[in-house]
Chains A and B, each alone.
Chain A
């Protein structure tokens, strides 16, 4: 595959690994912000070729994982409303809510559909005018434009039976909260390539400016990730910090203006609740009033009102997402919590740090 095979080249990887060895001085903890990075690192066992002093830890970049328990519970409760069909990406299906999961709800007879694109949910709404299609809008800036487009498409069709339970989140505000918290000790960040194609590299400028930490925006193949790590180690060695873009084949400056216009037209900034991080001001979006009839929260206020806060759970996903605990350090890892019987989203999602460690690193 073009643009993939070249970035999995064994000789190139070996050469980069050697260069990292020469650059690494003191201990360095590098956070890979994005869940896709977490999975790629595990799938290619990248940690086994890094210099021993360099550690790679996962951050809050798995959208399924950071979805708050209360938001998931609310969406599950939406499924008990008459005529409602729940529509979700497949990743969310097995994440345990307080009482059940989407998969469990479906087994009890609720209508749950899995789609690959929010536009499929709009199409389902057109085909079944007697049902209400409720889409779970989960994800960062990469998936947000697709949800925005789905809402605009539904508006263009004049549909009244489609809405979005919007829990979309924006990455920079969460990173700011995480770093300001000071809990996670990191020496640099690998920033998410795909998110950056939408928001641009300037969105991370505050990280070197306010926290003095080097950043590298990078892609998801082994060579991409090693180039990103090399950039961070070089910045550390030279005693400087900036946002370096090593994913130039995808991330251009300025970033995608059409996607940003689309987002601005449909969404307005809002606070968002994150698993493990709590409510972070300005880290989410809400659907603008002009599209209020596609906002499931506005359409079904009773669902939100009758919800009780989730009881305490033994799940430690919050600490994993903050980068203060490694998956194998969790007392539940591979014991009480496995992909077959997950206690938390980090063990379920294909981008979850625990799922990656369970699948590839045990």
Chain B
């Protein structure tokens, strides 16, 4: 590993190795759990803290834009720690020559998304680099939230828990790819980019026993489920036929040779819930506009630790492997 490759940014094995070898080896907390948000104790409050950068190309795509992604992405990462999102920062690296009207449209989209998510954007930064030193605009957001239910973590899934997915998979990655490559014109595929504050707050306020949450972004549900299985040292089984996929997304993935389970989502949550509360949680999730298509897609098993399997539509069982390499750069 001598140079950074696009694969290092894809959310798969290469990225994990890079983070381990370069960053965690130098300043990682040995007790870290490896969730999407860190949590820190401040007096009697536990805060969730996270950051995320957005480099999507194109800036505007069906169903969203880089601004909506930048707010929703960080909000959803805070939510995975069962935290109420409070405040965000937003920093912009802009390429010389970017039209101000484009920036205004992005900022307006961020305002609307932040209002929907119930967060305030309270600080930020701008930098301009010469033409060619960046592509139009890159955005970094960071967020702070107040943890409402301590202990929710990718490391806290338990055997017999149910795995809920809040809606269809593959929409965001497919929508961005088709918009960028101008493929399959006429297919109405929209990104699912959305902040899930309402959906997750309802669950927490009604006292569901949630053990783990993860938003299946880069690497799709394949990456997210493998991460949780590894962190929690449990096995998982999902039922392919129960995973909702929009017909146009399924057709696009077939045509392009993509595994829809590995394609990015930006408005979905995987929620691992105690079996006694699964039905209740599903009912609550379906009340949210972003959770109407929620399903229980599988369950957590004892062993072997870290292994995720899929029961296929024809009734056989196979491995659900995390993605490796990257054919879909700059999807978020």
Chain A interface residues toward B at CB < 8 A: 1, 4, 8-10, 13-14, 42-46, 48-49, 90, 93-94, 103-104, 106-108, 114, 116, 222, 338-340, 348, 350, 358-362
Contacts and interface: CB of A to CB of B under 8 A. Distances in A.
A359 B313 contact: no
Contacts of B319: 359-362
Nearest to A340: B13
B316 A45 contact: yes
A336 to B, nearest CB: 15
Interface in B287-330: 312-319, 321, 324-325, 327
Contact of A116 (B14, B181, B321, B324): B181
Given A348-B325, A350-B257, A358-B321, 17 more contacts: A1-B250, A4-B254, A10-B314, A10-B315, A42-B318, A44-B314, A104-B3, A114-B327, A116-B181, A116-B183, A338-B13, A339-B325, A340-B7, A340-B12, A340-B13, A359-B319, A361-B318
Interface residues of B, number: 29
Contact of A44 (B4, B247, B312): B312
A106 B329 CA distance: 13
A103 B3 CA distance: 10
Q: Which of A10, A42, A49, A108 has the most CB of B within 10 A?
A: A10
Contacts of B324: 338-340
Contacts of A13: 314-315
A107 B321 CA distance: 26
* CB-CB nearest 10 A-B residue pairs: A45-B316, A339-B324, A45-B318, A340-B13, A107-B3, A13-B314, A359-B321, A90-B327, A360-B318, A8-B313
Given A8-B313, A90-B327, A350-B257, A43 B7 contact: no
B102 to A, nearest CB: 22
B120 interface: no
Contact of B14 (A43, A48, A340, A360): A340
Interface in B1-51: 3-7, 12-14, 17
A97 B7 CA distance: 17
Contacts of A114: 327
B294 to A, nearest CB: 23
Nearest to B13: A340
Contacts of A107: 3-6
Nearest to B315: A10
A51 B66 CA distance: 52
Contacts of A45: 312, 316-318
Nearest to B6: A103
Given A42-B318, A339-B325, A94 B256 contact: no
B279 interface: no
Q: Which of B6, B181, B319, B324 has the most CB of A within 10 A?
A: B324
B251 interface: yes
